[in-house]
Amino acid sequence: MLTSIATEHPLRQLGAMQRCERGQSWVWDGVRFEVLHPSAADYERKLKPNALSCVLRVTAHDTSALLAGDIEAAQEQNLLQSGQALQADWLLVPHHGSTTSSTQAFLEAVNPSFAIVQAGYRNRFGHPRPDVLRRYSDLGVLVVQTPRCGAST
């Protein structure tokens, strides 16, 4: 199990876990997995848990998905500057569609056809935010929202 939760977190007692870190990659059953974030230096900087979210790019044949976790604008910018391949057909919307994520530059670099918002129905934060959804819509991205459909398969 790869994770970015702190070593002293109680969940770490559930079993063996390894820190996710940029540069890790593997192929399983013909599917390529690449950890794009966080870097080793990010852990040393003692960033907030959201900023340390594991970002994973999954590629199978000619289709890819970017699982962006809870990253926010600063981490999106770091990914843009990292030179890593970000383009993906599917995007798990960063930070549930909060106003602190899904920057225009990041969305243009990922250039997804589909985006999935994971958020609770009528959540107290109002995720996904209307202005964020508008950015996706303006780029022609089809957005699926778990608060509206319950789940996505």
Summarize pLDDT for 114-126 with one digit per residue, the tens. 998 876 556 566 5
Domain boundaries, the chain: 2-149
Cβ-Cβ contacts under 8 Å for 39 (sequence gap 6 or more): 21, 22, 78
- Residues forming a β-bridge with 55: 37
What mean pLDDT is predicted for residues 69-90? Answer: 94
High-pLDDT (> 70) share of the chain, %: 88
Residues 100 and 103: their CA atoms lie apart, in Å, by 8
Q: What pTM was estimated for this model as a whole?
A: 0.87
| 25 against 5, higher pLDDT | 25
Helical H runs in 45-119? 73-82, 104-110
CATH architecture of 2-149: 4-Layer Sandwich (3.60)
| 128 against 125, higher pLDDT | 128
Residues 36 and 129: their CA atoms lie apart, in Å, by 25
| pLDDT at residue 96, rounded to an integer | 67
Edge-to-edge strands, sheet with 55-60:
25-28, 31-37, 55-60, 63-67, 90-92, 114-117, 142-145
